Amino acid sequence: MDTIEFLREQLGQARWFLEGTMAEIDEKRARAAMPGVLNPIAATYGHVVTGEDGFVQGLIRGQSPLFATAWAGRTGLSEPPPEGGDWHAWAARVRVDLGALRAYAAAVGEATDAFVGSLTPGDLDRAVDLSAFGFGERTLGWVLGAGVLGHVLSHWGEICALNGVHGGRGFPR
């Protein structure tokens, strides 16, 4: 297995974990307010999906993300997550249509998979400027692994925990 196949497999597995967990979550549980500064599940899910779209389509490919083009107005989010600023305030006010967000998430996953599948192992050494995020210059391989894959998995774990607080199982079986 080469590095590209490995990344595609790992990204697909991470999405399977996330979507398997989200399949158990109904609208009421998704929108439930959490104590302290924890964000509702729906907002966290929206952040994960738009984050992958923005990183892969926008930052890495230099194209407009799906949420700004083919999926504009159809992502299931009443407003996009902030690029900076107060995430908790956004999470408290955003309205989420889970069905539409799941459809958008599937499209984002397909777009990411197609892009990663188009790469060669040598492409993973290409430099990507992450200075705006405090990471300096990194390789494309690092961005896909730590940035995209790590982001999906870390927030999937958060969603599992929040689901457990509400009596759900968390991990898909």
61-102 tens-digit pLDDT: 999 999 999 999 999 999 988 887 788 899 999 999 999 999
β-pair type (137-139, 127-129):
antiparallel
Closest CA to 63 of 114, 11, 101: 114
pLDDT score, position 56:
96
pLDDT score, position 34:
82
For 119-159, write each residue's pLDDT tens digit: 999 999 999 999 988 899 999 999 999 999 999 999 999 99
Closest CA to 152 of 41, 59, 15: 15
Domain ranges of the chain: 3-165
Cα 105 to the center of its chain, rounded Å: 8
- Distance (Å, rounded) from C-alpha 151 to C-alpha 60? 15
The enclosing H or E element of 47 equals: helix 41-53
Assign domain 3-165 to its CATH architecture: Up-down Bundle (1.20)
